[in-house]
Structures are given as structure tokens and as C-alpha cells.
Amino acid sequence: MTRAENVYRIVNCRSCSARVIWTVTNPELKSGHPMMVDADPHPNGNILLARYPSIEHEPGKPVPVRATVMRPGQIAGARADGNVLYRSHFASCPHADRWRKTNAARHAKNGSRR
């Protein structure tokens, strides 16, 4: 499989300027969540990336990239099949805590109580 810069649109993290790929978990569903992934594969990565060209998107905009977080039992099989795995940028960004929402802030924003 090719490296990320040959397949996916690379941007820079607004906090640390590292090269990242914006992905979506479950892009075909309204419940999909954006996720930043380091642009370079990682030896301990657990995220499989795939393009979804069949998903409707605006002309001239990048095709959504789906991020699938692999469970420990799936990682060895994915690598054996020749897949390259990546890791979440939150695992490597030195400023990740600035962007991480607390449960209280998340619920306040959504108007829910837990």
C-alpha cells in the first residue's frame, strides 16, 4: 500500500503543525465523527484508512477518508493482509489536552445532563 501523502489530502495540525489527515469515523452515517490521524504510518498504529468514493461529496472537495479503529485482535490480521496502520493524532500531539473536551463541557454544549 502507498504512503498517506500519495493517497490522502495532508494538512497541518493547528496546534503543533504536524502533518495530519482529517478522517471521519462512519462517514456514510450522520453519526460519523471527525478524527485527525498522523500522516505517516506508525509501527504501533491501530487505525486503518480507506477512501470512500461512493459517498456523495461536493465537487472539488476531497473524498471522505474513513478511519476504522482496529481492535487488538484485528491489528495482526490487518498487517498480515498488507495494510498500513496509522495512529490518532491525539496520541502524538503535544497540545492534545487543549483540544480534549471534558465530559462536563461536552454535555453542557449538547444541553444534556449525566
- For every one of its 114 residues, what pLDDT tens digit does the chain have, with 9 covering 90 and above? 444 544 678 899 999 999 999 998 876 677 778 899 999 999 999 999 987 766 666 776 666 788 999 999 899 999 999 999 999 999 999 998 887 765 455 455 555 544
**Three cell numbers written together for 114:** 449525566
pTM, entire model: 0.73
Report domain extents, the chain. 4-110
* Nearest-5° Cα angle at 99, 95 to 101: 135
> What is the Cα Rg of the chain in Å?
15
Length of the chain: 114
Q: In one letter, which amino acid is 19?
A: R
Q: What is the dihedral of CA 34, 27, 22, 110, to 10 degrees?
A: -10
Structure confidence at residue 98 (pLDDT)? 83
pLDDT for res 114: 43
- List beta partners, residue 85: 48
The DSSP result for 21-58, as a single string, is: EEEEESTTSTT-EEEEEESS--TT--EEEEE-TTS---
From 1, 2, 41, select the one nearest 21 (Cα to Cα): 41
